[in-house]
Amino acid sequence: MGQNTKTIPIFFAVDDGYVPYLAVTLQSMLKNASKSYNYEIRILYTNISEENKQKILKYENKKVTIEFVDLNLYLDELQDKFYTRDYYTNTTYYRLFIPNLYPQYEKVLYLDCDIVVLGDISKLYNVDLEDNLIGAAHCEVMGLFKEFSEYAEKVVGMKSYKDYINAGILLMNLSEMRKIDFQSKFIYLLENIKFSVAQDQDYINRMCKGRIKYIDSSWEVEPHPTDFPRKEKDLNIIHYLLIYKPWHFDNVLYQEYFWEYAKQTEFYEQILEQRSKYRDIDRARDIERYTALRELALFEANCVGDDREARNKQTVKKSEDRIKILEKIENLEKKGMFDVDAEDDPPTIILQKEDVDYLKEKRTSRIKSRIAYTVGEVFLNDLLKNNKLIIKEIKGMENMINLNSGAIITCNHFNPFDSLAIEKVFRLSKQNKVRKLYKVIREGNFTNFPGLYGFFFRNCDTLPLSSSKETMVEFMKAVNTILQRNDFILIYPEQSMWWNYKKPKPLKNGAFKFATRNKVPVLPIFITMEDSDIIGEDGFAIQEYIINIEKPIYPKDDLNDRENIEYMKNTNYEIWKNIYEDFYKIPLEYTTIQDDKKEINAENAINEENSEN
């Protein structure tokens, strides 16, 4: 074929509405690309204005050529065969025609337009495909939800969902694709099989399985809220797929990179204008579509038999990160540092009082809260259905049902999802019909937690603490108002989260101070755990929860505030201790070195004394 090894052909498929985001992609890619290569960029389209073409053509220089390729005539006979849904358009199919359209190329890159490229794109192009048809990265979202995993295997026909790739960043071996007459096979499948979830991506996975070169995940970083932020050196391409688009949603993981390059384009003001016009109702619609997509995947997977070959169960290696956390917990217990989190929180940004609406007095706050609870209910039900959160038994439900006043709910804290277990109990008790459940959270979780979890932290009736005294005054006012109007507040009085730690830890005064001053009860809940037979992705057994709801503890009329705080705190701790010892059949003992324990307990007592004064 004689393709120039110093020339890299790169293809995009776009319509007029996505041109501003194409500009961001080009800006980032060309700024970080090696100057040792020439770049031939072709933009496949059926509808782009001349004005937008001229703006994109400004990226041409001695090293970069850009050509717009009108596919209207070429695709005319196939348009009615394309199946599209929601935010998908026919442009998603265009990449499948590149092998026949460009016989002069042996290998090309195809890139979606909802990306930023932080790495040198020539390094991706120079990946050796050998005789594989394509090179691509694993699709992370397929492993996040069981319905997607089963769809990839049962419907698309992948041996494992882990083999399913995201086709938004695609290295295409055109010479090998032409050998198998790839385009004809695609048209045949298009006419005989309808893939309805990821559409063209499903076809690519089906046709190329067994001949895929899996590239490093740094070239397909998906900003899912469950992902831990990666270092910049591990970010070659960020793909803002599905609902994780910073030009529509706030607090998307890695959004700062998108805005950095957007500012360098002449489309920046247009993108900002589109962002300002995107309403909460539009975001709610996007979230509903994403939920519907998962339901569709489940429906499709349930419509076919599981005809895959039996697979031997693979032993999942225990996560090194999780092992390190367990080691840190062990060391913290030895040092008596019970109120220190074992896992790093997001960096704390000081929460100013004007940045939080504790009582949801603003209309926009109430709208966001409704959206958050709608999405949150789907999220919670999904965790329960897929056994990522297992509630084996609830004991003492009547103790929550019979409460007819505001209350402080206390609970041990050992998992990011344990608050969802309390939320589930709250709903099962039907108390949600007459009152709300608020949750006290850390400052950094409110101000700086990314993605979907951050959205929940900011909008699901949370009460963030703050290092600002002015904000804490508003926090205290909100706590008093909430309790006096007979709502509940969930507080973790241990003030730390230790993953899967079964013992109750020493308690702090705060929860009991709120209860005493507002003359409301404390409802002590202690969750015990045991291994299920399901192994999580971290290699550890997912825990089955037994939620123990004990009788409420009321402040006594014959005690002053300080005495009541001590009485309620000590009673709560004893209740937890008794549940622990009764369930695990062992006495509650800590590994804390005695001298250190005394010193630390004395220091904690002094700190608490100072905080009360």
Distance, in Å, from the CA atom of 459 to the CA atom of 466, rounded to the nearest integer, reads 16
CB-based burial label for 611 (10 Å; 0-12, 13-18, 19+): exposed
3-state class of 264 per DSSP? coil
Distance, in Å, from the CA atom of 222 to the CA atom of 148, rounded to the nearest integer, reads 16
Is the fold of 7-302 the same as that of 320-612?
no
- Residue 65 β-bridge partners: 40
pLDDT, one tens digit per residue, over 496-552 is: 999 999 999 999 999 999 999 999 999 999 999 998 888 888 888 899 999 999 999
Residue 152: name the closest of 322, 290, 301 by CA.
Answer: 301
Distance, in Å, from the CA atom of 454 to the CA atom of 281, rounded to the nearest integer, reads 19
pTM above 0.85, yes or no: no
pLDDT tier at 346 (50, 70, 90 boundaries)?
Answer: low
CA-to-CA separations, 421 to 120, 393, 433, 605, in angstroms, rounded: 45, 11, 18, 31
pLDDT tier at 188 (50, 70, 90 boundaries)?
Answer: confident
Backbone phi, psi, residue 589, to 5°: -135, 145
Q: Mean pLDDT over all residues of the chain?
A: 86
Type of residue found at 604 = N
Residues near 165 by beta carbon (within 8 Å), at least 6 away in sequence: 134, 136, 137, 138, 139, 204, 205, 212, 214
Distance, in Å, from the CA atom of 22 to the CA atom of 370, rounded to the nearest integer, reads 33
The widest CA-to-CA distance across the chain, in whole angstroms, is 94
Q: How would DSSP label each residue in 362-374? A: SHHHHHHHHHHHH
Q: Percentage of the chain surpassing pLDDT 90?
A: 57
As a whole number of Å, the CA-based R_g of the chain is 28
- Residue 525 β-bridge partners: 411, 549
Backbone phi, psi, residue 257, to 5°: -70, -40
DSSP state for residue 299 in the 8-state scheme: H
What are the residue boundaries of the structural domains of the chain, listed by start? 7-302, 320-612
CATH topology classification for 7-302? Spore Coat Polysaccharide Biosynthesis Protein SpsA; Chain A (3.90.550)
pLDDT tier at 125 (50, 70, 90 boundaries)?
Answer: very high
pLDDT, one tens digit per residue, over 448-499 is: 877 777 788 888 899 999 999 999 999 999 999 999 999 999 999 999 999 9
Distance, in Å, from the CA atom of 511 to the CA atom of 572, rounded to the nearest integer, reads 11
Q: How would DSSP label each residue in 590-612? A: ----HHHHHHHHHHHHHHHHHHH
Which class would CATH give 320-612?
Answer: alpha beta
Type of residue found at 457 = F
Distance, in Å, from the CA atom of 219 to the CA atom of 233, rounded to the nearest integer, reads 11
Q: Which pLDDT score is estimated for 611? A: 43
Comparing 188-197, 251-260, 293-302, 601-610, the range with the smallest average pLDDT is 601-610
Distance, in Å, from the CA atom of 374 to the CA atom of 23, rounded to the nearest integer, reads 35
Residues near 569 by beta carbon (within 8 Å), at least 6 away in sequence: 493, 507, 509, 511, 512
Q: Which pLDDT score is estimated for 610? A: 39
pLDDT, one tens digit per residue, over 586-605 is: 999 999 976 544 444 444 54
Distance, in Å, from the CA atom of 265 to the CA atom of 27, rounded to the nearest integer, reads 7
- Tokens for 127? 């990946």
- Tokens for 9? 């052909």
- Tokens for 219? 């070239």
